[in-house]
Amino acid sequence: MSDLPKFESTMARSDRTARELFEEVRANPARARFGFGAKAALVNIDFQQAYTRPDLFPKTAYVTDPNQIDYVNDLAALARAAGMPVIWTRVCYKADAGDAGIWGTRTNTPDSLQNIKAGSDRHAFDPRCEIGPDDLVFDKRMPSAFFETPLASYLVWSKADTLIVTGGSTSGCVRATVVDSLSHGYRTIVPEQCVADKHESYHFANLTDMQLKYADVVDVAEARDWLKARR
């Protein structure tokens, strides 16, 4: 037996919901904000029908705020007016799903991730999205919008120092992108009303974690006002 001390678990436990914990953290921030920098890029993650259209794909789509896409369209218009880049991503795979890698091995149903095929209805952007002719649009295969995509080099070329991240899911591709954004040295902003997930527990738990560690989780009005002031 080791002579080193053995400690009891110090992990905090609570009967409060993930939403209640997030609201407490938001109301009582323990750390300074990262804040906005000089130039932002708006990164809109996976606003494709597989995830935004519960009328078409009820097993995979999710809606947290019914006005999410309206808010994102507004932010995109303001970013363009301010000369700031707007980026849209979506997920798809080739016919045999070989490019999904290990991620595509857990299930194999018509609704499974690796069965989002290029050019399919699940791959298509939600028609409510207002995508500009000069916006950067690309497909991705893994959670983060940075992984094996043109995003990193495009941000360097654009001279952005801040990323405003929207989309879904909060606990998946949004969180992965936010962590990579911080890791690449960007101030990272998450407008709360602009991200969505399947369950409020996952949604608010990840908003809490991002707020504590990786990003500023703000009201969409704050992001809108910051962009509007820079037109």
Residues with catalytic annotation? 173
- Sort 22 into a burial class: Cβ within 10 Å, 0-12 / 13-18 / 19+: buried
